[in-house]
Structure 1
Amino acid sequence: MQLVYYPDPILLKTAKPLDRIDAAVRERVGEMFELMYSESGVGLAAPQVGWSVRLFVCNCLGHEDRSGEKVFINPRIIDKGEEYVCEEEGCLSIPEVKGKVNRPDSLLAEYQDLSGELCREEMFELDSRVFQHELDHLNGVLFLRHLNTTEKLLAKKLLRELEKEHAEREASAGKGSGGRPRNS
């Protein structure tokens, strides 16, 4: 399993609902956690590994504490809190680019867990932020869309480099290579 990098088109598509949870899905979820940990991430959405389904994994406690592992299948936000907080975000699929994103500090989410059970959960602070960031991936939205104009301008050079590297990979290896950029 490999990460897919910006500007791969799968990152900009709305993922399809996952209608069956079987052994193959559970195996992929395990691989997603391992990849997320190897890249020092706290969340990873299925489209980021080339799998266009509405599923993401996260562990806001960090890779040392596996008790924080969560799997969100067909997630949605039921309600958002009124208080917004602006904090820095980054993305495993967009190496080296970071920026401040304003998001609700709390939310009520609904999702299926890996056993297929429908869950409702109130989330706050980092849990809320990671949920929203990963849900954006399932909707074909990158955190870049939430940056202010100044931060978008600052990110532009790095994004152009990633676009150039992606075009070179596509030309040399065929479409959808998704391989790791050389500069990260």
Structure 2
Amino acid sequence: MDFIALDFETATHEKNSACELGICIVENGLIKETKSWLIKPPSFPYFNYHNTAVHGITPEDVQHSPTFADVWYEIENLIYGNLIIAHNAAFDAAVLRGCLEYYGFFKPNINYLCSIGVAKKAWKDLKSYGLRSLADHHQINFNHHRADADAEVCAKISLLSFQRLFITRNDEVREVFNKKIKIL
């Protein structure tokens, strides 16, 4: 299994307002590395109070941070050609699209899958499939709503789901989830 788990935190309701990006690189079914970038969003210095209340990131935290445009080439090299998995992937894909559009970058064909759907297929009887609920169910402690921690838990939940579903290779993911794998 090779994939990248990805998570964004945003400064406002605008899809181009990424203020943090986290990725967790999975190679051969093992977590290789987790990285994050604080990002100065286009809305800087404005951050919506509700967003800050969720993730705790403030304008002061990102005032000297690069913009999405500054970090995109590094990120693109990491995710290019990989399956991307995110928890509530529609949100993260929309943020990625919003940032790419805002900065005028070409939108690459990126295959992505939602870990909520993966978990629902693996555990049909849970009351909630939120990231915190799944982490609690599997006794995984993490700093919720920080992009690197959320990306890593998404990777761990996905790996546990694949193990429960006896999926051991990327081509098997495509066979089982083909209609649920979307293109950015």
What TM-score do the two structures reach when normalised by structure 1? 0.29
What TM-score do the two structures reach when normalised by structure 2? 0.29
Q: Please state which structure has a larger fraction of its residues in helix.
A: 2
Q: Please state which structure has a larger fraction of its residues in strand.
A: 1
